Chain A
Amino acid sequence: MRHIRRVGALRGIVATDGTPPDRLVEEARALPSMAGLELASGVSCRSPYGWSEPSIELSRAAPAADGEGQRRFRVVAYDFGIKRNILRLLVDSGCDVTVVPAATPAEDTLALRPDGVFLSNGPGDPEPVTYAVEAIRKLAGRVPIFGICLGHQLCGLALGGRTFKLKFGHHGSNHPVKDLGTGKVEITAQNHGFAVDPHSLPSSEVEVTHVNLNDGTNEGMRHRSLPLFSVQYHPEASPGPHDARYLFGRFIEMMRAGRP
C-alpha cells in the first residue's frame, strides 16, 4: 500500500493457484497499460434495447416520478458499460429508456427523437473512444445531455478538453465532492482511473461545477449555454450513498425545459 501511495496505480495480478511470484510479476509486466485502451466497445451492447424496470422498493429514494398522466421522457442511453441502477433510476425519474451501443452515430440517435441523451460510465481510457466524442459533438446543443463517469470524460473531450490518467484512481463509496454552485458536499461512489483536466476546458463555454475534496480533481461540469452537464462520479451509487441522486432530477428539469 505504501508502495502504491508512492508510485501510483500499478498493474497487478491476483492469484490463488500457487504460481510462483516471479512468474506472476512477469505476467503483470506484460499486461497492457490502461492508458490508450479502448474498452467500451467490448462491453457495450450489440444492438439497441428498451429498459423499463424501476428500482426495487427497499431503496427507492430517487426523485419522485412525474405524476399520473404526464408524458414520460424519451431518453437514449449510450452504453459504454452502463450500470443497471442508472437505468432503473432513469425509469424511476419518469424516463422511457432506449439503450444503444457505444458506437451509435449521432444521426441514429436523433432519429429516435429523444428528449435527452444519457452517456454512461464505462471502462478504460476515454481518448481512444473517438467515435463517441464525435457523436457527442454532434448531439451537443440539439438535445439535452447528461453524462456519468466515462460519459463525463467523453463530454470533456468533446468540449475541447483533455483527459489524463490519475496517479491513483478513485474507487469506493466515500469520496467527498463539493458542488461549487451550492457549496454543499455530497458523499459519492466513484470508480475511475482517468480524469478531465479542468484547465484544458474552454472556460468561456464550460463551467466546472464539482470538485473532489480529497485531491482537488474535477468531478463535474456544465456547458454555459447548451443543455449539457456531466459528473465524474456515480450518482446512481449502487453500492454507495444516495447524496447525488438529485442529478437525475436536474436531467429531468433540463429535458422539461427543452420541450416545446
Chain B
Amino acid sequence: MPKRTDIRKILIIGSGPIVIGQACEFDYSGTQACKALRAEGYTVVLVNSNPATIMTDPEIADRTYIEPLTPSSLEKIVAAERPDAVLPTVGGQTGLNAAVQLAESGVLEKYGVELIGASLRAIKVAEDRLEFKDACRRIGLEVPASVLVGNAKDAMPVAEQLGYPVVIRPSFTLGGSGGSIAYNREEFAEAISYALDCSPVHEALVEESVLGWKEYELEVMRDARDNFVVICSIENFDPMGVHTGDSITVAPAQTLTDKEYQRMRDAAAAVIREVGVETGGSNIQFAVDPATGRMVVIEMNPRVSRSSALASKATGFPIAKIAAKLAVGMLLDEIPNDITRKTPSCFEPTIDYVVVKIPKWQFEKFPGADSTLGTQMKSVGEVMAIGRTFKEALGKGIRSLEAAIWHPPSGPAPAILRERLLVPRPDRIHWIFAALREGMSTEEIHNVSKIDPWFIGQMAEVIALEREMTAAGFAGATREQWLAAKRGGLADEELAEIWRMDTPRVSARRVELGLRPVFKRVDTCAAEFESYTPYLYSTYEEEDEAEVVARPKIMILGSGPNRIGQGIEFDSCCCHAAFALKDEGYETVMVNCNPETVSTDYDTSDRLYFEPLTLEDVLEVIHREQPTGVIVQFGGQTPLNLALDLKAMGAPIIGTAPESIDLAEDRDRFSRLLDGLGIPQPRHGIAHDAEEAVRVAGEIGLPVLVRPSYVLGGRAMVIAYDVETVRSYMTRAAQMVPPRPVLIDKFLERATEVDVDALADGADVVIGGIMEHIEEAGVHSGDSSCVLPPATLKPEVIDRIRECTAQLARALNVVGLMNVQYAIQRDIVYVLEVNPRASRTVPFVSKATGVPLAKVAAKLMAGRKLADLGLPVVRVNGVLELTVRDYSAVKSPVFPFNKFRGVDVILGPEMRSTGEVMGIATSFPQAFAKAQAGAGASLPTSGTVFVSVNDREKPTVVPIAADLASAGFHLIATRGTAAALQAAGIDVETVFKVNEGRPNIVDWIKTGKVHMVINTPLGRESFYDEISIRRAAIRHNLPCITTLAAAHAAAQAIREQQTHTFHVAALQDLHRHRAVAPTTVHAAPEDHPSPRSEHA
C-alpha cells in the first residue's frame, strides 16, 4: 500500500521535560519520526517544551514550537498550522495524553485533524487497565485478577479477597507513580490512600500479585495489512515486582523454550489485534509462573516506549522511524532495512549477541527516600551493554554505570545476606556476587531472590573466573586464562583489584599477551547479509568487523547514563558535534553506552561504538580507530574524568586542553588565576576534618556553602547558617569514599546568580548568552529558573560580566565552550565557578539565540576560527556577543519529588531536577508564564496569592501586590509584609508564619487555598520557614516565586493572560534572520544596546 497522499502536514507532540519514567528515549523516537516523515515528503509540525532535545532543533521539523504541552497552547498551534493529522505515539505518555485530550475536547474535530498510528479507541483499550483486561480475556488470555476501586473503604475487602500481597496501581499516572505492593492490612491501608491521591481520577486498581514470576516484554510492530513482527524479546533479570524500568533486562529472552516463546508471540499478536493498534509499535508485557508455566498478560503500551528505544538499540531496527512510516499507510515489506539495504523491514531481527540494560539510580540525592525497588520506577537513567555472552554483557554493563567497583563487606551475616537478596535494591546484583563468593548455591540464591537460576549460574561462572585469576596471580595467569576472563566480562580494573595492582600495568600485560578486543557489528541479521552501518561493540573473539577507514576522523565521547545534572543536554551537545563535524568533512565516531539517546542512533554519526566509557574500553576504540581528534568537553563529567589519562596515553584530545579543565576545578590554582585577573570570588577555604571546617567557616563568616571537591550537579552540598550544620555535614563527609577534602565558600546572601555560556577559539571570544537566575541565590543553577537576556541587571554589571567572561576564556585558553557562574551582590560581580566545557544551558541558549553553540564549538575545536563562521554578533564594550532579538527566553526546572514519597522537597545547592522546559515569547512576563505552564505550575488567573518578602524589598513589592489585587486576587501575607501592604492601602489578610500558630501558611497551601506563592528569602531567621513553604508549594504544583523580578513578571503575565491570549511562535519564524543573513564577526558596529529592564 503506498503512503497516503490525502494528508500532507503532520503534527508530532513531544514528551516535554525529562522526568523519571520518561527520558530522552522520546527525543530519540520523536526525532526519528520527524526525519522519517519528512523523508517521505510530509510537512512536520513539532511541539515540545523541552529545549534540550534534538527534535526541537529547527532543522529537524518544518515548523518547531517550543511551547507548553497544555491544551490551550496545543490548540493554538493546531489553529495556526492546520495539520491534517497528529501522530500521538512517538512522544511518550505525555504526547499520547496530550493528543487524547485534543481529541476528546473536540479540537481535532473542529480543525479536521485525524489521529494516525493509533485510534482513540485503541488507546483507550490499551491504557484503561480494566478494558485491557477484558480485551485479553475475550481472546482467551489470562490476566492477573483485579478490582478497580475509588475509595479506601471499598478497597480493603478487595485486598482481603485477593489475598496478600496485593499490587496497587493508581490509574493514569506515569512510570507507575504512586503504585506499590502491600504485604498486609496495615501496609495496604496506607498504600491505597496514597495511590488514590496520586491518581488524577482518584482511582486505583487492586491486583492479584504475581510477585516472583518471570517477566518478559515483547516489542512488536504491525502494519495496515495486519503484518505483524516481533522486533525484540526482552527478559527481566529481576522477576515480577520490580518495575521494568528499574529491572536489569536482557535481550533476547534467555530462559524460554521455543514453545514458551512462540506462545507468547502468538499472544502478543492476538493482543495488538484485539486492542486495535492498527499500525506502529507496541510493547506488551507478560509474566510466567516458573512453577506451572502459567502465562498472564500484564500490560501494553500502544506506542513507542522506553523499551522500544532499548529494543531499537539492541537490534539495530529503528522502531520509531518505521512506526512513523507505517502510520502514513506504508507497509513493513515496502520499507527497506537501513542496515542491509537489500532486505525489507518486514522481518524479525536475529541477535547473535546478548544485550544487558542496567538502570542507574541516584538515591544518594534524595536522603530519606526508600531505595527498595517496586512497582514505581525510581531510576533516573540506564546503560546498555553488548557482549557475545550474558556474562560479558553484564560485566560491561556494570562498568558502564561509572560507579566505583563496589563489593559488599566480606563475610556478611547470613541473615543480612538473605535480606539483601530478598529485597530488591539497586545493589542487589552485587550482593548476588557476594553470596556466590561466600559459597551460597545457585539454588539457594534463586529460592530467596526468585531470579532465574540460569542467570545466577552465569554469575557463578564469573565468580569462578575471578577465583581462577586470583589463584593464577598476575605473573602466572596464562593467555588462555586471560582470554576466558576477558570473555567473561572481567575488566582490567577488576583484575587489577584482584591482584592489588594498578590498572595500567594490568592493561599493559593484556596487550603484551596480544589480547585486544575485536569489534562486531549490530546488523539485525546475525551477519547473514552485509551490513552498511558501522554500529559496533567489542568482544574478545577472532574476527574484526570494524572495517576502519583511514581518513580524518573525530571521536566524540558521550555522557553515559542519564543522571541528575548530566543528562540530555550533554547528549544534545555530542550530537551537535557529530552533525557539525560531518559537515566539515570529518568522519565522526561516537562512543556512548546510553540506549535512550539520539547520540546512540546509528544515524547520528558515521560510526557508533556502543561501549562503556571507561579508560580501558575507550582506549581500545581509539586504538582501533586511530582518530585525528578526540572530543571530551561535550559529554559532561564522564569523559572529562578520563581526559588526563587519555591524554597521557597519547590520545589526540582537541579543544581546550585537559589541563585547563583541570585547572578550573582546582581551587587553589584557580583562585590564584582569578586573583591575577583581578576578578573577585566569594571568600573560601578548604577543610579535611570537622574542627578545621568550623575554624574555616568562622574565618570566612556564616553563612557558608559546604561541599566536597570535584562534584557534578552539586552532589552533597549544603548551605550552613550555623556551626552545627557545618559540624554535622563533616560527620557525614567523613564517611565518603574515597575521602575528599571539603570546600567551604562564603554564601552570598541576596545575590543574583548569572550563568554565561561563551565560545572561544583561543583568541576571539563570543558570548553565547547571559542568563539571569530568577530564583533565590543558593539554589543550584540546574534547579533554578533563568531568563535570557537578563531582565533586571544593570548595564554596567552586564558589561563587567562580559569583560570577566572574555578574560577567563583567554586565561584558560578555551577552544570550544565555556560556562561561567557569577553571583552579583551589591553590584559586585563574583565568579562562583568556571567550567571550560559544554554546560547544561548550552541547548537552551542555542534555542533562544538560534545559534547552535555546540556545533560552533565543535568546529572551533577542529581548527576553525570564530571570525570565519559568520555568526550574528555585536561588539559590546569590546566583547563580541550573539545578538538577541526582541524576545525573551525563560528556562524552568522540573523535579521528581512525586516519585520519592517521604523525601524532603528542599531546593538548595544540591541539584534535584531531572529536566527543564523553555518558554519563549516577545516579553519576559509571557516567556515566564509559558515556562511555568510548561513545567506544570501554570500561573493562576484568579484565586489567592501569598506574599512574604524581606524588609528591603517591601517597598518594591507594593506595586506588584497592588497589581495582583486589582487583577482580582485575594492577598494573604505574613505579619510584616501584610503591614507594609496595608500601609500602602492594599487589602490583605494576615496569616501565621510556620511557628506563629495554626493554621499557618503551610496549612493554607496544603488545604488548597493558595494559588501562587511569592516568598523572597529573608535570610537566616526564616530559612526553615521558606523551606517548608516551598516544599508544600512544589508538592501542590503551585508557582513558587522567590525573586521580585519573577514576581513582577508573574503579575504582568497574569494581567496579559486575563486580557488577551498568548501567542505561539515557531522557532523558524523567531530565528528567520539567522538563516538568511548572518552578520559576520567583524562587520558589526560597536554599539551598546540598552539592556531591557523589567523594573523601573
Which A residues form the contact surface with B (CB < 8 A)? 1-2, 5, 56, 58-59, 61, 168, 172-176, 178, 183-185, 187, 213-214, 237-243
Q: Which residues of B contact A58 (CB under 8 A)?
A: 259-260, 263, 293
B246-270 near A? 1/0 per residue, CB < 8 Å: 0000000000001110110110000
Distance, CA A89 to CA B265, complexed state (A): 18
The verdict on B472 contacting chain A, using a C-beta distance below 8 Å, is no
Distance from B184 Cβ to chain A, minimum over Cβ atoms (Å): 36
Q: Which residues of A contact B343 (CB under 8 A)?
A: 213-214
Q: Which of A175, A178, A187, A240 contacts B258 (CB 8 A)?
A: A240
State whether B262 touches A241 (Cβ < 8 A).
yes
Distance, CA A214 to CA B525, complexed state (A): 11
Distance, CA A168 to CA B528, complexed state (A): 9
B530 nearest CB neighbor, chain A only: A5
State whether B262 touches A187 (Cβ < 8 A).
no
B226 nearest CB neighbor, chain A only: A184
Q: Which residues of A contact B229 (CB under 8 A)?
A: 187
26 A–B contacts, CB within 8 A, in A order:
A1-B527, A5-B529, A58-B260, A58-B263, A59-B262, A168-B528, A173-B348, A174-B350, A175-B347, A176-B346, A176-B347, A183-B225, A184-B227, A185-B227, A185-B333, A213-B347, A214-B342, A214-B344, A214-B347, A237-B262, A238-B258, A238-B259, A239-B262, A240-B258, A241-B265, A242-B265
Distance, CA A172 to CA B350, complexed state (A): 9
B547 nearest CB neighbor, chain A only: A2
Residue among A61, A168, A237 with the highest chain B CB neighbour number at 10 A: A61
State whether A239 touches B258 (Cβ < 8 A).
yes
Distance from B715 Cβ to chain A, minimum over Cβ atoms (Å): 46
Distance from A97 Cβ to chain B, minimum over Cβ atoms (Å): 21
Which B residues form the contact surface with A (CB < 8 A)? 225-229, 258-260, 262-263, 265-266, 293, 331-333, 342-344, 346-350, 527-530, 543
Q: Which residues of B contact A59 (CB under 8 A)?
A: 259, 262-263
Distance, CA A243 to CA B227, complexed state (A): 10
Contacts A176-B333, A178-B333, A240-B258 given; does A185 touch B346 at CB 8 Å: yes
State whether B527 touches A213 (Cβ < 8 A).
no
A239 nearest CB neighbor, chain B only: B258
Distance from B284 Cβ to chain A, minimum over Cβ atoms (Å): 15
Residue among A2, A56, A58, A214 with the highest chain B CB neighbour number at 10 A: A214
Distance, CA A59 to CA B293, complexed state (A): 12
B263 nearest CB neighbor, chain A only: A59
B352 nearest CB neighbor, chain A only: A1
Distance, CA A58 to CA B347, complexed state (A): 25
Q: Which 4 A-B pairs give the minimum distances between C-beta atoms? A: A239-B258, A174-B348, A1-B527, A59-B259
Distance from B139 Cβ to chain A, minimum over Cβ atoms (Å): 12
Q: Which residues of A contact B227 (CB under 8 A)?
A: 184-185
Q: Which residues of B contact A213 (CB under 8 A)?
A: 333, 343-344, 346-347
Distance from A182 Cβ to chain B, minimum over Cβ atoms (Å): 8
Q: Which residues of B contact A176 (CB under 8 A)?
A: 333, 344, 346-347
Q: Which residues of B contact A172 (CB under 8 A)?
A: 350, 528
Distance, CA A2 to CA B547, complexed state (A): 12
Q: Which residues of A contact B348 (CB under 8 A)?
A: 173-174, 187, 241
Distance from B317 Cβ to chain A, minimum over Cβ atoms (Å): 12
State whether A184 touches B225 (Cβ < 8 A).
yes
Q: Which residues of A contact B265 (CB under 8 A)?
A: 241-242
Q: Which residues of B contact A1 (CB under 8 A)?
A: 527, 543
Q: Which residues of A contact B530 (CB under 8 A)?
A: 5
Distance from A247 Cβ to chain B, minimum over Cβ atoms (Å): 16
Q: Which residues of A contact B543 (CB under 8 A)?
A: 1-2
Distance from A3 Cβ to chain B, minimum over Cβ atoms (Å): 10
A61 nearest CB neighbor, chain B only: B266
Contacts A184-B226, A185-B227, A185-B332 given; does A242 touch B347 at CB 8 Å: no
Q: Which residues of B contact A185 (CB under 8 A)?
A: 225, 227, 332-333, 346
Distance, CA A183 to CA B260, complexed state (A): 29
Distance from B619 Cβ to chain A, minimum over Cβ atoms (Å): 27
Distance from B908 Cβ to chain A, minimum over Cβ atoms (Å): 54
State whether A174 touches B527 (Cβ < 8 A).
no
Q: Which residues of B contact A173 (CB under 8 A)?
A: 348
Distance from A14 Cβ to chain B, minimum over Cβ atoms (Å): 16
Q: Which residues of A contact B529 (CB under 8 A)?
A: 5, 214
Q: Which residues of A contact B225 (CB under 8 A)?
A: 183-185
Distance, CA A59 to CA B259, complexed state (A): 6
A170 nearest CB neighbor, chain B only: B528
Distance from B257 Cβ to chain A, minimum over Cβ atoms (Å): 8
Distance, CA A56 to CA B344, complexed state (A): 34
Distance, CA A183 to CA B331, complexed state (A): 10
A3 nearest CB neighbor, chain B only: B543
Distance from B142 Cβ to chain A, minimum over Cβ atoms (Å): 13
State whether A242 touches B350 (Cβ < 8 A).
no
Distance, CA A15 to CA B333, complexed state (A): 40
Distance, CA A243 to CA B228, complexed state (A): 9
State whether A61 touches B263 (Cβ < 8 A).
yes
Q: Which residues of A contact B263 (CB under 8 A)?
A: 58-59, 61
Contacts A61-B263, A213-B333, A214-B529 given; does A174 touch B258 at CB 8 Å: no
Distance, CA A187 to CA B343, complexed state (A): 14
Distance from B336 Cβ to chain A, minimum over Cβ atoms (Å): 11
Q: Which residues of A contact B258 (CB under 8 A)?
A: 238-240
B267 nearest CB neighbor, chain A only: A61
Distance from A190 Cβ to chain B, minimum over Cβ atoms (Å): 12
Distance from A255 Cβ to chain B, minimum over Cβ atoms (Å): 25
Distance, CA A185 to CA B262, complexed state (A): 17
Distance, CA A178 to CA B346, complexed state (A): 10
Q: Which residues of A contact B331 (CB under 8 A)?
A: 183
Distance from A121 Cβ to chain B, minimum over Cβ atoms (Å): 17
Q: Which residues of A contact B228 (CB under 8 A)?
A: 243
Q: Which residues of A contact B332 (CB under 8 A)?
A: 185
Q: Which residues of B contact A61 (CB under 8 A)?
A: 262-263, 266
Distance, CA A5 to CA B260, complexed state (A): 33
Distance, CA A178 to CA B258, complexed state (A): 23
Besides A59-B263, A176-B333, 18 new A-B residue pairs in contact (Cβ under 8 A), listed by A number? A2-B527, A5-B527, A5-B530, A56-B259, A61-B266, A172-B350, A174-B349, A176-B347, A183-B225, A184-B225, A184-B227, A213-B343, A214-B343, A214-B344, A240-B258, A240-B262, A241-B262, A242-B265
Distance from A177 Cβ to chain B, minimum over Cβ atoms (Å): 10
Q: Which residues of B contact A240 (CB under 8 A)?
A: 258, 262
Distance, CA A187 to CA B222, complexed state (A): 13
Distance, CA A175 to CA B348, complexed state (A): 8
Distance, CA A59 to CA B1007, complexed state (A): 56
Distance, CA A238 to CA B262, complexed state (A): 9
Q: Which residues of B contact A56 (CB under 8 A)?
A: 259
Residue among B262, B333, B527 with the highest chain A CB neighbour number at 10 A: B262
Distance from B570 Cβ to chain A, minimum over Cβ atoms (Å): 37
Distance, CA A185 to CA B226, complexed state (A): 9
Distance, CA A185 to CA B229, complexed state (A): 9
Q: Which of A5, A174, A237 contacts B347 (CB 8 A)?
A: A174
Q: Which residues of B contact A214 (CB under 8 A)?
A: 342-344, 347, 529
Distance, CA A33 to CA B331, complexed state (A): 40
A186 nearest CB neighbor, chain B only: B227
B350 nearest CB neighbor, chain A only: A174
State whether B262 touches A242 (Cβ < 8 A).
yes
Distance, CA A231 to CA B116, complexed state (A): 36
A174 nearest CB neighbor, chain B only: B348
Distance, CA A185 to CA B350, complexed state (A): 17
Distance from A185 Cβ to chain B, minimum over Cβ atoms (Å): 5
Distance, CA A238 to CA B265, complexed state (A): 13
Distance, CA A174 to CA B225, complexed state (A): 19
Distance from A175 Cβ to chain B, minimum over Cβ atoms (Å): 8
State whether B527 touches A242 (Cβ < 8 A).
no
A4 nearest CB neighbor, chain B only: B527
Distance from B543 Cβ to chain A, minimum over Cβ atoms (Å): 7
Residue among A168, A175, A187 with the highest chain B CB neighbour number at 10 A: A187
Distance, CA A187 to CA B265, complexed state (A): 11
B260 nearest CB neighbor, chain A only: A58
Distance, CA A241 to CA B260, complexed state (A): 11
